[in-house]
Amino acid sequence: MRFIMKYAVIYQSKSGNTRLIAEKIYGALNTEDKTIVDIDTEQDMPAADVYLIGFGIHGYSCSMDISDVFEQITGGKYAVFVTCGYVPTEQYKEKLEKNLEVWYPDEGEYLGMFLCQGNVESDRRKIMISQMPSKEKEMQQMFRLGNTHPDEEDLENAVDFAIKIQAEIGD
């Protein structure tokens, strides 16, 4: 029989942006009944009542590793926290949520999304510009704006997100 944690913060972070958010969310959960897992270094998916799943966005979607995490959730509640290279407008968030629905578990209750801009690594910037050369000027401006993200305000908002999730659950 597997021990079930109350909260599992599960994340994948290629550039370090999502890791910063994951650590803040984990630290904000006011309980000892929690675990944090970097799926790139740990293979075992913990059983939990509530999953907080974090990842970077690439092409309006998540990685296949994260889709595998969603497949392993067979009930309970879950929320996502994501970082992206784009300015996280409400319109972008709505489109992103719609695109990600295909990966979400059939069972379980979706609790919402925390979205913040992240710093895009230089090799990724080149790829993005090569895919949309006509938007290079706008993208360069977006990259400059993202250089400082996640910033202190983003980290505070991540803490608020965790507190809100915990309050909604009645914990």
- Specify the DSSP class assigned to residue 151: -
Q: Which domain, by its residues, includes 119? A: 4-166
In total, how many domains does the chain have? 1
pLDDT in tens, 117-126: 877 776 776 7
- Judge whether 17 and 157 are in contact, CB under 8 Å: no
DSSP bridge pairs for 5? 48
51 - beta bridge partners?
8, 78
- Count CA atoms closer than 13 A to 94's CA, side-chain side: 3
**Both structure tokens of 114:** 């925390």
> Residue 126: what are its φ and ψ, rounded to 5°?
-60, -40
Segment 79-109, tens digit of pLDDT: 999 998 777 788 889 999 999 999 999 888 9
Residue whose entry in the numeric block shows the structure tokens 């926290």: 81
Asked if the structure places residue 31 within a domain, the reply is yes
pLDDT at residue 9 greater than cutoff 60 = yes
Residue 33 lies in a domain: yes
Domain presence at residue 171: no
pLDDT tens, residue by residue, 136-167: 787 777 677 666 779 899 999 999 999 999 99
In a domain, 29, yes or no: yes
67 occurs within a structural domain: yes
Give residue-wise pLDDT tens across range 47-81. 999 999 999 987 778 999 999 999 999 888 999 99
Which CATH number fits the domain that encloses residue 63?
A: 3.40.50.360
The answer to whether residue 42 sits within a structural domain is yes
